[in-house]
Amino acid sequence: MAVATNGPLLAGVSWLLVIVSCIFLSLRIYCKSVRSRGLWWDDAALIAAWVCLCTDTCLISVTISHGFGRHTCDINPEVLPHIFLLGNLSSLFAILATMLSKISFALTLFRISEFRMRIVLCFIMVTVFFGLSTSALMGWIQCKPIARIWDFSLKGTCWNPQVFVIQGIVAGAYSGCMDMLLALLPWKMVRKLQIEKREKVAIALAMSMGVFAGVMAIIKSAYVPRTANKDFSYIGAPLILWGQAESGVCIIAVSIPHLRVMLRSASGRYFDSSKYGAESGDFKLSNGPRSKTTTTITGGDRNPRASGHGVGNDASDEDGQGILNNESSQSVMDGGIVQSTEIAVEYHYGNDLDGHEEFGFELRKVGGS
C-alpha cells in the first residue's frame, strides 16, 4: 500500500521557485551591469535573500529524503530528531529570506524617495527586521534545554505551543501588510511625474508587484496554527509552500523594475526612469524631460527672422536671430519665405532607480522646407 506523502509536491514547487527567482535576480544584475551600475546594499540584501531561499530549499529536500511530508506515524522514529532539527534550520533560513527580500525593496525605494518618505521606509525596515527576527529567535528558545526542540525524548520544559502560534500569525500578517504598503508607495512617487497617465500606471505597476508577496504572507499566516499539530510533517505542507512562495515572489517582484533596460532594447522605445520627472520635497526624483523646439524662417527682406515655440518648459532663440547669418542672408531673394527649419532639443536630468544622477539630451530635426 502506497504511503501518503506531500514530499514530491514540496520539493517540486520549492525548487521551481528557487530557479525562477534566480533567473529574475540574474537578469536584474545583468541589466545593471549593462548600464555600468555597481551593486548597492539593496542588491546585496536581495542576493542574500536568494541564498537563504536556496539553503532553505536544500534543507527541505534533505528532510524529504528522510521521510518528511508523510504522516508522522509513517516515519522511522529514529530519524525524527534529524528531521525536526533540519526543519528548524529550514524555518530560520525561510524567515531570513523573507526579511531580506522586503528590506531590499525598501532600500531601493529609499534611494529615490524624498525625506518624509525615507522616514516611512526606515520605520518599515526596522519593524519588519525586529518582527521577523523575533519569530526566528523564538524557534530556538522555546524549550530548555534547546535540544528538546527537536528531540522530544529529552527531559525538559517548553513554552505553550500557542505562544509560538500567536506570535507567528501576528508577524506574518504584519509582514504582509508591510508588503502592501511598499507596493502602494510607488504610486505616490509617480503621481507628480510629468508623463502620460498610461506610462505612470505602467511604472507604478512594475514597482508594485510586491503586493502578491503580501497576499501570500497573509495566506501563510492562516496556516501557522498547524505548527502545533503533532502530524505537522504531513499537514504542514501548505505553510511551507506559502512561506517559500512569499520569499520567491518577493525576489521576483523586486527584480522586475530593473529589467527596463532589456525591455527597452526589445521594444526600441526610450523607457528609462530618469526620463520621467517630478520634484517632491527637498529630494529631486528627477527633473523630467524638457524640450525646446525652434523654428527658423528665412524671408526675402534680407534680414532673417526667427520665432520659437516651446514644448514642456518653453524657450525660444535667445538672440532672436535665425540660423543663417547676415552674410548668407544677403543672397536671399525678396518676396517670401525661402527656408524653414524646425529643430527639437530634449534634455533630462535626475536620479534613476539605482540612485545615480543622470543627465542627457537629444537633438533632432523635426522638419524643414
What is the rounded CA–CA span in Å between residue 205 and residue 186?
A: 8
The residue assigned the cell 532539527 is 85
- Its pTM stands at 0.70
Mean pLDDT confidence for 79-101: 93
Domain extent listing, the chain = 7-267, 289-368
Cell of 97: 529570506
pLDDT of residue 349: 40
Residue 159's φ and ψ, nearest 5 degrees, are: -65, 160
Contact (CB, 8 A) for 111 and 42? yes
Higher-scoring residue by pLDDT: 295, 311: 295
Look at residue 313 and give its three-state secondary structure.
coil
What is the rounded CA–CA span in Å between residue 204 and residue 76?
A: 52
**Cis amide linkage into residue 225, ω under 30° from 0:** no
Residues 254-273 have pLDDT tens digits of 888 777 666 665 555 444 44
pLDDT of residue 260: 67
Mean pLDDT confidence for 106-131: 89
Mean pLDDT confidence for 15-29: 93
Measured CA to CA in angstroms, residue 224 lies from 47, 73, 82, 100, 235 at distances of 27, 21, 22, 21, 11
Assign residue 302 a region (left: φ > 0; alpha: ψ between -120 and 50; beta: otherwise). left
Question: Is residue 346 scored above 60 in pLDDT?
Answer: no
DSSP3 helix / strand / coil % (the chain, rounded to 5): 60, 15, 25
CATH (one of 3.40.50, 1.50.10, 1.20.1070, 2.60.40) for 7-267: 1.20.1070
Percent of the chain with pLDDT over 70: 68
pLDDT of residue 60: 95
